[in-house]
Amino acid sequence: VQDHETKSRFFLGGWVSGVRSKKDKLYPEKVSRLGALGFDWDPDATRWKKNLEKLRKFKKSNIWSR
């Protein structure tokens, strides 16, 4: 995703990466506007939580639950 380029040749992925790295320096309004879009500030943490939930469901429905 980091190297995603739009049709107008804008490197959106690079911009997103830069925004994430500067979160603490952004104006609160910008952080709020990105939040309203559902912006994921920490995709690694999001992925980890989703995978943990998959493991929980697997455990509940398989032999681990016995």
How do residues 1-56 score in pLDDT, each as one tens digit?
Answer: 667 889 999 999 999 999 999 999 999 999 999 999 999 999 999 999 999 999 99
pLDDT for position 65: 58
pLDDT at 66 over 80: no
SS3 37: coil
- CA–CA distance, 21 with 16 (Å, rounded to integer): 9
Instruction: Please tell me which residue, 64 or 6, carries the higher pLDDT value.
Output: 6
20: exposed, middle or buried (Cβ count in 10 Å: 0-12, 13-18, 19+): middle
pLDDT at 62 over 90: no
